[in-house]
A = this chain, B = another copy of it.
Amino acid sequence: MTTAPTTRPFEVRARDGRARAGRLTTAHGPVETPSFMPVGTQGTVKALTPAEVRATGAQMILGNTYHLYLRPGLDVIERFGGLHRLIGWDGPILTDSGGYQIFSHRERVKITDDAVTFQSHLDGSYHTLTPERAMQIQAVLGADVAMAFDHCPPGDAPRALVEEAMARTTAWLRRCLATPRPAGQMLFGIVQGGADVALRRRHLADVAGLGCDGYALGGLSVGEPVPAMYEVLDAVADEMPADRARYLMGVGTPCDLVVAIGCGVDLFDCVMPTRNARNGQLFTAAGRINIGNACHRLDEGPVDPECDCETCRTVSRAYVRHLFVAQEILYHRLATLHNLVYYQRVVRDAREAILASRFEEFARAFLARDATAPAEPAS
């Protein structure tokens, strides 16, 4: 008997400047990077079926541990042997650790070095999470990639709190790493440090020293100015271990993605394409539009003439606007589908540009074009 060659969990296929095209290999298949993960907060990418999510080009989705732990609850998920079978998604799933959601309800939270106690936003019941418990929950969820339980301070946090959060995140990462995981589950560590480049570098050294399957930048796009985030990305992203996937959590606009890819980031998630869709904001090659605007009322053309998604192939702006104004469920489907296809096109185009060694040109054109938004006459 020979031992099969082990697949490395992440491989860089090409570099173009600092930008990378790579492949993350998970227990549920590969993820070609740069990659954008649609957010499936409550066990569904809002409004879409798994087959539709797949058809947008998405390869991996994100599940929120906090929400899924509270509802439907672990007994339900355990009955199905994990999230994949419950929700009918057979591709890779990354789960956050629950920390971010818990800390975003500041007044309901009590933090010690050992644990976080919080109240459910659903019924006010009290729950306690520890690093070990967060890993156990992600084991029940059956995540392909589990995220370390971290302390994520707000964007306006004072330096002392940022440093406290860094220390706690490092200590908690040790405990996460010491907790048994299901076979094939990867664990990504999270780098904190706010908008301070020196603190980010310090914490990156601590976290990378512990040896994780991948590394994430947490605590960005949490209220700090965009230039501050870009400064951190520019300084730190390409200092993250080169042989591991680099994940920028919860970011961002299409421009943010292109900028971050140029700094060396591989993975993204964000509610922006799905949430903005539901609020009437659609991304197009010519800029963002608010579909509720009266200028679209009689428009027989597609949402985006350059888009080949089902929405743009089959219906008009006038109809999409009507469904939005009439608050029809079908609107949410058509809009979500379109925005997710737009995001997937951004990362796919970026990947192709990297593989063709023309990323800088792609990024310059993309950022110049996107700056034309909003793409509507002033009313």
How many monomers of this protein are in the complex?
Answer: 2
Q: Are B47 and A330 in contact (CB under 8 A)?
A: yes
Those of A290-343 within 8 Å (CB) of chain B: 297-298, 300, 314-316, 318-319, 321-323, 325-326, 328-330, 332-333
Q: Is A48 an interface residue (CB 8 A)?
A: yes
Q: Are A86 and B332 in contact (CB under 8 A)?
A: no
Q: Is A106 an interface residue (CB 8 A)?
A: no
Q: Is A72 an interface residue (CB 8 A)?
A: yes
Q: Is A44 an interface residue (CB 8 A)?
A: yes
Query: What residues on B are CB-neighbors of A75 within 8 Å?
Result: 298
Given the complex of chains A and B, what is the CA–CA distance between A47 and B323 in angstroms? 11
Q: Are B43 and A88 in contact (CB under 8 A)?
A: no
Q: Are A329 and B46 in contact (CB under 8 A)?
A: yes
Query: What residues on B are CB-neighbors of A321 within 8 Å?
Result: 72
Those of A77-112 within 8 Å (CB) of chain B: 79-80, 86-88
Q: Are A315 and B88 in contact (CB under 8 A)?
A: yes
Query: What residues on B are CB-neighbors of A300 within 8 Å?
Result: 79-80
Given the complex of chains A and B, what is the CA–CA distance between A329 and B293 in angstroms? 24
Q: Are B318 and A329 in contact (CB under 8 A)?
A: no
Query: What residues on B are CB-neighbors of A314 within 8 Å?
Result: 88
Query: What residues on B are CB-neighbors of A86 within 8 Å?
Result: 316, 318-319, 322
Query: What residues on B are CB-neighbors of A297 within 8 Å?
Result: 72, 76
Query: What residues on B are CB-neighbors of A369 within 8 Å?
Result: none
Query: What residues on B are CB-neighbors of A71 within 8 Å?
Result: 322, 325-326
Q: Which residue of B lies closest to A43 (CB)?
A: B322
Residue interface mask A108-131, B partner, CB < 8 A = 1: 000000000000000000000000
Given the complex of chains A and B, what is the CA–CA distance between A102 and B43 in angstroms? 41
Contact for A318 among B48, B49, B72, B325, CB less than 8 A: B72
Contact for A328 among B42, B80, B88, B318, CB less than 8 A: B42
Q: Are B318 and A80 in contact (CB under 8 A)?
A: yes
Q: Are A79 and B47 in contact (CB under 8 A)?
A: no
With contacts A316-B86, A319-B86, A319-B87 known, is A330 near B76, CB below 8 A? no
Min CB gap A126→B, angstroms: 21
Which of A44, A79, A80, A88 has the most C-beta atoms of chain B within 10 angstroms of its own C-beta?
Answer: A44
Q: Are B80 and A330 in contact (CB under 8 A)?
A: no
With contacts A72-B297, A314-B88 known, is A48 near B330, CB below 8 A? yes
Q: Are A319 and B88 in contact (CB under 8 A)?
A: yes
Residue interface mask A58-79, B partner, CB < 8 A = 1: 0000000000000110011001
Q: Which residue of B lies closest to A278 (CB)?
A: B329
Query: What residues on B are CB-neighbors of A48 within 8 Å?
Result: 330
Q: Which residue of B lies closest to A327 (CB)?
A: B42
Q: Which residue of B lies closest to A332 (CB)?
A: B329
Min CB gap A38→B, angstroms: 13
Q: Which residue of B lies closest to A75 (CB)?
A: B298
Q: Which residue of B lies closest to A331 (CB)?
A: B44
Q: Are B329 and A333 in contact (CB under 8 A)?
A: yes
Query: What residues on B are CB-neighbors of A79 within 8 Å?
Result: 298, 300, 318
Known: A46-B329, A86-B316, A88-B315. 4 other contacts (CB 8 A): A49-B333, A76-B297, A329-B329, A329-B333
Between A and B, 28 residue pairs with Cβ closer than 8 Å are: A42-B322, A42-B323, A42-B328, A43-B319, A44-B323, A44-B328, A44-B330, A46-B328, A47-B329, A47-B333, A49-B333, A71-B322, A71-B326, A72-B297, A72-B318, A72-B321, A72-B322, A76-B322, A79-B300, A79-B318, A80-B300, A80-B316, A80-B318, A86-B316, A86-B319, A86-B322, A329-B332, A329-B333
Report the 3 A-B pairs with minimum CB-CB distance, sorted nearest first.
A72-B322, A47-B329, A44-B330
